[in-house]
């Protein structure tokens, strides 16, 4: 987790771990399909409701769709807006196994995602994105949920790619 990111500091709750597990299942599916193993899940949780409801889940499909924008977060946002019938996700929590890239953070901003919860940090692109003003001003960012598992899956994926060469 990025210690310098003040918005990223929140105690990991059982609910966050539960929903991150859904995103992690998607990441494993991406791994099995030869995609970069990133998964996302979106939970609809209006103010005052104790429990959220899963409305979207997706994994990277860049290779399968030959589409550089087919990131887990982008696909999940599209599913969630279709499910809710509107372009805003201001009552939603987006769970993603790896800290989002610039493109995905931009989509989250325009969709006004209420909270972003990520597993492992992405120091090359994620840190600067999430600790800047890329997201909606009211968006809460929480990092480090299932961090070790998410990081290990990515490391295993890239190690297997290097060994296959």
pLDDT exceeds 80 at position 7? no
Phi, psi of 157 (to 5 degrees): -60, -50
Q: Is residue 98 part of a domain?
A: yes
What is residue 13's DSSP assignment? Answer: P
Is residue 163 in some structural domain?
A: no
Per-residue pLDDT, 10: 45
The answer to whether 74 and 105 have CB atoms below 8 angstroms apart is no
Among 4-13, 67-76, 88-97, the least confident range: 4-13
Q: How confident is the model at residue 62 (pLDDT cuts 50, 70, 90)?
A: very high
Is 8 marked as a binding-site residue? no
20 contacts 117 by C-beta, under 8 angstroms: yes
Residue 161 lies in a domain: no
Based on the structure, what is the number of domains in the chain? 1
Given the residues 35, 73, 99, 122, the one annotated as active site: 73
Q: Indicate if 35 belongs to the active site.
A: no
Q: Mind listing the pLDDT tens digit for each residue in 110-124?
A: 999 999 999 998 877
Residue 1 falls inside a structural domain: no
Whether 116 is in a domain gets the answer yes
Assess if residue 62 is contained within a domain: yes
Q: Please list, in sequence order, all residues whose beta carbon lies within 8 angstroms of the beta carbon of residue 118, skipping any fewer than 6 positions away.
A: 95, 96, 97, 98, 99, 100, 126, 130, 141, 142, 143, 144, 145
Its pTM stands at: 0.88
Phi, psi of 51 (to 5 degrees): -125, 150
The answer on whether 101 is annotated among ligand-binding residues is yes
Q: CA dist 128 to 44, 55, 60, 108, 131, Å?
A: 27, 28, 22, 15, 5
Domain-located, residue 160: no
* Residue 152 host element (H or E): helix 147-164
Q: The domain that contains 43 carries what CATH number?
A: 3.40.140.10
Q: Which residues constitute the domain of residue 118?
A: 6-10+21-154
Query: What residues does 43 pair with on adjacent strands?
Result: 54, 93
In a domain, 159, yes or no: no
User: Tens digits of per-residue pLDDT, 82-94?
Assistant: 999 999 999 999 9
């Amino acid at each position: 987790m990025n210690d310098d990111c003040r918005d990223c500091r929140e105690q990991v709750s059982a609910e966050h771990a539960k929903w991150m597990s859904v995103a992690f299942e998607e990441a494993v599916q991406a791994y099995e399909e030869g995609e970069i193993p990133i998964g996302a899940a979106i939970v609809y949780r209006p103010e005052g409701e104790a429990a959220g409801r899963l409305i979207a889940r997706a994994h990277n499909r860049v290779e399968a769709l030959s589409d550089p924008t087919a990131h887990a977060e982008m696909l999940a946002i599209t599913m969630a807006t279709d499910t809710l019938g509107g372009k805003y996700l201001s009552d939603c929590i987006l769970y993603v196994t790896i800290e989002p890239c610039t493109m995905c953070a931009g989509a989250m901003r325009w969709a006004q995602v209420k909270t972003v919860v990520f597993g492992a940090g992405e120091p090359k692109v994620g840190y600067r994105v999430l600790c800047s003003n890329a997201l909606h001003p009211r968006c809460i960012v929480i990092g480090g949920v299932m961090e070790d598992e998410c990081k290990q899956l990515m490391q295993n994926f890239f190690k297997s790619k290097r060994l296959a060469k």
